[in-house]
Amino acid sequence: MANNNIGPNRLVVGAHYGLRDWLAQRVTAIVMAAYTVILLVLFLTGNDFSYEGWAGIFAHQWFKLATFTVFIALFYHAWVGMRDVWMDYVTHSVALRLVFQVATILWLVACVGYTAQILWRV
């Protein structure tokens, strides 16, 4: 009797996201870390720690776009992690897992909209 769990003939089940999601988690983490360094440099080199000072930094369009990009990376990072949690721990019911995944997607899309509203509010 052959063992199908070893070698090229093994039985593979699951979502098969593997390397792509592993790489997405690392890339989004690097984006967030780089933004954190930029914020830290701005904070340490700044001299106006008032609301007006921070509003001045966020008044620049490039900084709003950078911030929005980081939040998109954060939301994608969260999606990959939460999807894996739902797939790993809510395996007994496909319908329940789908409900959790759809709720997560709706929540993250709402967060994207709210982030855009905050950054580009007039």
Placement of tokens 């890339």 in the chain: 27
Handedness of CA 66, 43, 113, 76 (dihedral sign): positive
Q: Which of 32, 116, 111 is nearest to 74 (CA)?
A: 32
Quick one: average pLDDT of 17-45? Answer: 91
pLDDT at 7 over 70: no
pLDDT at 101 over 60: yes
Spatial separation of the C-alpha atoms in residues 30 and 23, rounded to whole Å: 11
Quick one: average pLDDT of 29-47? Answer: 93
User: Rounded to two decimals, what is the model's pTM?
Assistant: 0.79
> Contact, 46 vs 119, CB < 8 A?
no
Spatial separation of the C-alpha atoms in residues 78 and 75, rounded to whole Å: 5
The per-residue pLDDT of the chain, averaged, comes to 87
Quick one: average pLDDT of 98-112? Answer: 96
Q: Which residue has the higher pLDDT, 71 or 84?
A: 71
- Region of poorest pLDDT, from 69-73, 93-97, 114-118: 93-97
State residue 4's pLDDT score: 55
